Amino acid sequence: MKGTLRKIMVMMLVSVLLVGGVAGCSLKAGSKGAGKTLVIGFDRDAEIMDTIKTSWYSDALIYIHDRLVSRDYNFGYQPGLAEKWDVSEDGLTWTFYLRKNVKFHDGSDFDAEDVKWTIDTIKDPDVGSPFRGDLDAIKEVQVVDEHTVEIILNYPFPNLLFNLSNTAAGIHPANAYEKYGDDYGKKKVIGTGPYKLEEWIQGDKTVLVKNEDYNWGPEWMSNRGPALIDKIILKVVPEESTRIMELEVGDIHILRNVPETYVDQLEENSDITVYKEPATKLGYLAYATDKEPFTDVRVRRAINHALNKEEIIQFVFRGIGEVAYGYLPFALEDEYLEESRDLDYEYDVEKAKQLLAEAGYPDGFKATLSSDNSSKSTKLAEIIQRQLKEVNIETEIQLYDSASYTDMLKEGKQELFIREYSWPNADILDWFLLSERFPYPNHSRWVDEKTDDLIMSAARKPTWEERAEGYKEVQRYLIDQAVWAPIYVPMQIIAARKEVKNFKYHPWMLQYSDGFDLEVE
């Protein structure tokens, strides 16, 4: 009966799409005459299409911009816009030798001045880049010649290659802000990547067209030249059931972040393949730690004890995912604190009530519980609301679209709120919890000298191994202080239609320029 109902709903959607003329994003758009158009489904959009200024990176940015360093399918650091690099014996000078004959999308030549301008702009406090703190180790960038730059560090920093390979480190043409003004990051975005921005309609879609001149892809890719797919449309569909239907009827070819509740349904569809891999993500409940009652560690610990994480994973994620015990996902093997489970707060309603009473809230308290308006987050908010009520914490749920949610957090209006991050490195803790990141992206408003000292000490260790141990000490302290209430580590679930050929799973970002192809009518 359920299967029959689903088929009827799918056929209804087909009719709506055809009548409404929305099929411009469908497989019809991938016909031979129009070129190959790949449509990717998403549940949210960025607030600005600028790697320097955004705090949430649209997938489009990794295809628009190249970086000095790339990451292969094993997460190894490989050449990107830099052909190679050297490090001085004291670890303070990194010399990057840049590729020649590389051009930006506006036709200008890529050279050392572009690298210097990009990094200097990120580090400029007047620009206010959320990525600025990640480059604190950089003292200055010196142009040696047209294709050589030296990055001089304040202290040894083994995480430099990671930071330079991130989406946030995409290289822009020098003086892009002066040249393009307020249009930059909205109507104009210029990189050297395999795809160029054609159009961005915020909250609706991002349209990318392939860079016909591209022939400088990294050596580890099978295809180093122009992409095989002519156009990519990143389509925003907030309602998850609609995203699933559009995937089934062919108006979306690839769906990232597939909701767990639909995995069984999609796996029954012979036209669709579902890929499940461990994700470098973490979902958590946070609170404004500078506002009462969340200033009291006993209240924060009580909230941790009040959450039945196993029930959440079954209810929201259909059992696909794992309980989060600490502040990093398990996939970060070097940096993850193995004892997190032993230190975690077990589900214990009575203990939570006891802690609230000790903190002066024997009858609980009232607060707002904020979330983005995606289906998953809405379900998560509802079950958290129910669980908190068991310990007499009454919450009113407030839902926001992605842009409004970011604005709310920046304005400091949050009390209790739901977040999820995706990041493959322990320095995500710097991003969210250093005092200097207050008020945003330090959205839990945690201003704490000991946290700052522990993070800065870890980040400045001379070797990767010492750095990892330093971040484990950070995690021990955060768990003790209950700065967040970690809840779940999801799986990375991607669904692809049969029309997508040579699908290659990448642990950080699918590389659509690397031999991905699309079968067209």
Q: What is the CATH number of the domain that holds 11?
A: 3.40.190.10
Query: What CATH number should be reported for the domain holding residue 340?
Result: 3.10.105.10
- pLDDT at 76 > cutoff 90: no
Asked if 261 and 118 sit in the same domain, the reply is no
pLDDT (tens digit per residue) in 159-202: 999 999 999 999 999 999 999 999 999 999 999 999 999 999 99
Rounded to two decimals, what is the model's pTM?
Answer: 0.76
Asked if 273 and 285 sit in the same domain, the reply is no
Asked if 255 and 307 sit in the same domain, the reply is no
Asked if 411 and 316 sit in the same domain, the reply is yes
Question: Cα-atom radius of gyration of the chain, to the nearest Å?
Answer: 24
Residue 42 domain boundaries: 2-62+178-277+493-518
- In the chain, the number of structural domains is 3
pLDDT (tens digit per residue) in 286-314: 999 999 999 999 999 999 999 999 999 99
Domain termination site, one of 158, 175, 192? 175
Asked if 36 and 130 sit in the same domain, the reply is no
Token pair recorded at residue 263: 């995995």
Q: At what angle do helices 375-389 and 297-306 cross, to 10 degrees?
A: 110
Asked if 389 and 457 sit in the same domain, the reply is yes
Query: What CATH number should be reported for the domain holding residue 76?
Result: 3.90.76.10
Asked if 431 and 498 sit in the same domain, the reply is no
Q: Residue 419 and residue 397: Cα distance in Å, rounded? A: 14
pLDDT (tens digit per residue) in 314-347: 999 889 999 999 999 998 888 999 999 999 999 9
Alpha-helical (H) ranges within 333-395 are 340-343, 349-358, 375-389
CB 435 within 8 A of CB 442: yes
Asked if 312 and 446 sit in the same domain, the reply is yes
Asked if 372 and 473 sit in the same domain, the reply is yes
The pLDDT of 464-476, averaged and rounded, is 95
Mean pLDDT of the chain: 91
Asked if 132 and 105 sit in the same domain, the reply is yes
Residue with more model confidence, 29 or 72: 72
Note the pLDDT of residue 364.
Answer: 97
Asked if 315 and 208 sit in the same domain, the reply is no
3-state DSSP helix/strand/coil percent for the chain, to nearest 5? 35, 25, 45
Asked if 457 and 332 sit in the same domain, the reply is yes
